[in-house]
Structure 1
Amino acid sequence: MHAALHAFRLDPSGLICADFGCSTGGFTDCLLRHGAARVFSVDTGYGVLAWSLRNDPRVTVLERTNCLHALRPSAAAEGVDLVVIDASWTPQKLVLPAAKRWLNPAGGSRIISLLKPHYENKALAQQSRGVLSDEQGLAVAQQTLEAIAGDSNLGLEVLAWHPSPTRGLAGKSEAKGNLEYLVLLALK
């Protein structure tokens, strides 16, 4: 997340944020360290979020909660300023509409999503035992971003995208994981 904030020149200071797929809280922690006022940490798991974050008064923990179906909490009635996403097994076409529902419609809200090409084209990922070549991953990422940009019903604009400095996890027999992409989006 630090790389995304830097690459996109986005300062979360004072922002109300949501972290979809928070897991142990890496993105949540990064947002707080960069001055976020509040983070709603959403995950289907239970008891996974780091204890220090769980007890931070700026964090609202929403465990056993699927971000695809989660309603925006009353504490964020006007919406959030920034949604960050690292949702495993979930393609962008499913998670982005859910994130959009959480955004403050007044303007200026953003989404930073970790695009994982192997979840966007599962047939190709199965053919390659889950790890795509960098070229395959780039092609899938470009196709996914074109689909997002061309979806008038989605109503999101791709502002920028950048390779993630951290690769996805690889299978036991693989030397390296998938190249993933950080994507910055806004309401159209």
Structure 2
Amino acid sequence: MQGTVDGFSYGAVTPVAAYIMACLGAALGLRCVVRSVYNERSWKPGWLALGAASIGCGIWTMHFIAMIGFRVEESRIHYDVTLTVLSLAVAIVVVGIGVFAVGYRGVSTTTLCTAGGVTGLGVAAMHYLGMAAIQLNGYIEYDIAVVALSVLIAIVAATAALWAAVSISGFLTSLGASLVMGVAVSGMHYTGM
């Protein structure tokens, strides 16, 4: 079935709201990670877990707010609840792997590239699991080159965010990093769409 797809059925409202949610999740998560790294008396596992949950939930929320604006004229859209919840779990767990890796091992090139790669693949997996949750009268087809580009954007964004999480200590630089991360996460989503 050929359908008329509209990714912006509410205009700029959903992309702007989605971007804000990605930035808020990133800002809170980055501040938690910074707290775990620069405060010797902090409970490191708790701060890293909270950071991972914040970033993962921010990414997931960004995705589904953006999906509110996604319409197919010829079909109603529903979501499989199990796959939707699984996509949230994947986002939190995989971001957690990256955050804990850099939180405990630092920003060596090897750790950063490995953790960024795993986290980026997890973000992409969350996105495409969320897309797999879509139920409509028809099917969704992907262009492999565009999917590959969206995965690459996710890996680069995740690596940059993890680097920022352990390399940036000031509030304003952390805020700037979260704004950039919001652009990267939104860019990955809309590229994949």
Q: If the length of structure 2 is used for normalisation, what is the TM-score? A: 0.30
Q: If the length of structure 1 is used for normalisation, what is the TM-score? A: 0.31
**Structure number, greater radius of gyration:** 2
Higher helix share: 2
